[in-house]
Amino acid sequence: MNVDIFGYFAAILTTAAFLPQLIKTLKTKKADDVSLTTLIMFIIGVLSWIIYGYKISSKPILIANLITLILNLLILISKIYFSKNKN
């Protein structure tokens, strides 16, 4: 059995976990409850995973974290945008 299957399975689940937050943020146009500090720390961590995945040539790590980065950058951008346009 190819062990990468577990990597892809984990990648799908952990990446998809951010979709509900992004959808809720875009629908409600609110992100007050999303911690800016947590988002920034998480994005830095994801960037570190991307570097690590690249260095060890791990497709599951790279793919999952690139998608996770995009989703979390969208959440961050939404948070900043909606907080500036509250009025």
Report residue 56 as tokens. Answer: 């060890």
Domain span holding position 55? 4-84
Q: Residue 44 maps to which CATH number? A: 1.20.1280.290
Total tally of structural domains belonging to the chain:
1
Mean pLDDT to the nearest integer, 70-85: 91
Angle 59-84/4-16 helices, nearest 10 degrees? 10
Q: Which of 58, 53, 55, 66 is nearest to 15 (CA)?
A: 66
The 10s digit of each residue's pLDDT in 12-67 is 898 899 899 999 999 998 888 889 999 999 999 999 999 999 999 988 889 889 99
Nearest-angstrom CA–CA distance, 77 and 1: 41
CB 42 within 8 A of CB 85: no
- pTM, entire model: 0.82
Which parts of the chain fold into alpha helices (H)?
4-16, 19-28, 36-55, 59-84
| Token pair for 62 | 């790279």
Q: How confident is the model at residue 87 (pLDDT cuts 50, 70, 90)?
A: low
